[in-house]
Chains A and B, each alone.
Chain A
């Protein structure tokens, strides 16, 4: 069972609307996502510190820390975590802002679930692509390192490369 859990895509949903949060979480769990839900940005940051997520769905307008700030802080700490912004507001200005901050996509509420699943799929593919590209770069770097540097230098550099995988 733990193995099955491991193979699911881990998804964080942040929204202050509890009814929405619960319904969406349940539906995505039925579709084989491993879902964690929180209602505030602060809780979301805490949870990201203890658990590793593949994708995050974040509501833009929340009391306290809003979606935009949360997005910026999550992307700063976890660069391979792809973020999709949800909003009922639907103004273009905030969409552009979010894209600049590194959001993968911007989805206006209400949406069709298939639409959301498609975006989630694309976001996950993006994550894999980026990870793969980073891994390739790292492998090449490793190969280069082993030819030039001393064993201690190689070790230190390898640790640095490892740290990037968060």
Chain B
């Protein structure tokens, strides 16, 4: 059940990795592709706008000029129409309504823009009127701007701008100044600007909006083209990103595979090294066993005629036993080294454990060596929750090493100290100590400074593994002839 689950989660993880790579490639490529594109697009768009604006202005100027010319021509034509009526200026002295009516009709035949026609004297009084608003006959125009301008000016005619005037309607005036028999007479025609515009437009044509037509076409084309470009770009990016992601993904897979193989090779090399070490450590005591057994056989062989005493034989057999136990020691320690430890947590007093070791298992060794044990316990240290079986093995190893390092009289100091949520256990001896080179190798499997047959070189390396496994660490300080100090630091509660 576990295997397919593991497989599935592995596949999912790989999927995630692939998706991550793809996203990465997409973002990167998009930036790489679209940012220059965007900048270019903006630049050309701006250029285009400038060109269009320029063209637009020229177009308008031309149009305005053209229209001004057309207007001038138109107004000139109308003025000419009006001037035609003044062939006989004397008729304007006392204008008759019928004459004016017929004149207006003539004018309107030429251009619908003419609205009415009137004759004024020098004081602005209306002498005659023809048109739709006879009430205007009562008005006096002496205050009007065009009137004063005409009377004062050198020009014999005036054409006004569009204004509202008395009739409250947009119109413009065209007036001629005449002087038959010394009397001042003004012939005035009012024109409708709206009609004039319609007539003018017939000649000028519709004013076009610039940017329309061809230019508008170009604009839409540009947008279309941009959209197409983006679409193609997007597609290219997508394909490219997929390709890149695939490549990277495969490279990663290969690398991981390689790493795994390397790890496997390293593990095999380690196993080989370990096997060689074990072979050496076990073959030597085995050689002792073989030689001693052979010797006993030889001694008992009548051919050599040795007649050994039972004491001699017992001594040889004792050596054999010792060598066998050296072998078992190594295998047992190795098992401790290799075995997946089941941690058994218990709450116990560490001080009692140490006392138990010092006064029990190690007492004979310590007494034989004339070694004094000094205990410097921290009274504030609570009971510790940890695997005491394993901790005991570590303490045993440390104390044994300390005792072994001392020749003749000596002292071992055991110190405990409570830290915040941890505690330290220090074993210090007055033994021969170690060189810095030896200190560096002290936790390596099979490294020992003890004479052959005395140490397996596994005790400290196993202890190291145990302490790390219990969530602590172990430290060594030593100098030749100054003794060694081993400090174990562990959490109060595993």
Contacts and interface: CB of A to CB of B under 8 A. Distances in A.
Interface of A: 16-17, 19-20, 23-24, 26-27, 30, 61, 86-91, 108-111, 113
A145 to B, nearest CB: 50
Tell me what chain B mostly uses at the interface: helix, strand, loop, or mixed: helix
Contact of B290 (A30, A61, A90, A111): A111
Interface of B: 276, 279-284, 286-292, 294-295, 298, 304, 306, 316, 319, 322-323, 451-453
5 contacts: A17-B284, A20-B291, A30-B306, A90-B276, A111-B287
A86 B287 CA distance: 10
Contacts of A109: 283-284, 286-287, 290
A113 B294 contact: yes
Given A27-B298, A88-B284, A19 B292 contact: yes
Contacts, number: 70
Contact of B295 (A16, A17, A23, A91): A23
A109 to B, nearest CB: 4
**For the complex of A and B, 7 pairs with smallest distance between CB atoms:** A88-B283, A109-B287, A23-B291, A110-B290, A110-B287, A88-B284, A23-B295
B316 A23 contact: yes
Given A27-B294, A30-B298, A88-B287, 17 more contacts: A16-B452, A17-B288, A17-B452, A19-B292, A19-B319, A20-B284, A20-B288, A23-B292, A23-B316, A23-B319, A61-B280, A89-B283, A90-B279, A110-B283, A110-B287, A110-B289, A110-B291
A25 B232 CA distance: 92
B276 A91 contact: yes
B323 A23 contact: no
Most chain A CB neighbours (cut-off 10 Å) among B289, B290, B323, B452? B452
Contacts of B291: 19-20, 23-24, 27, 110
Contacts of A61: 280
B335 to A, nearest CB: 21
B294 A20 contact: no
A160 B214 CA distance: 118
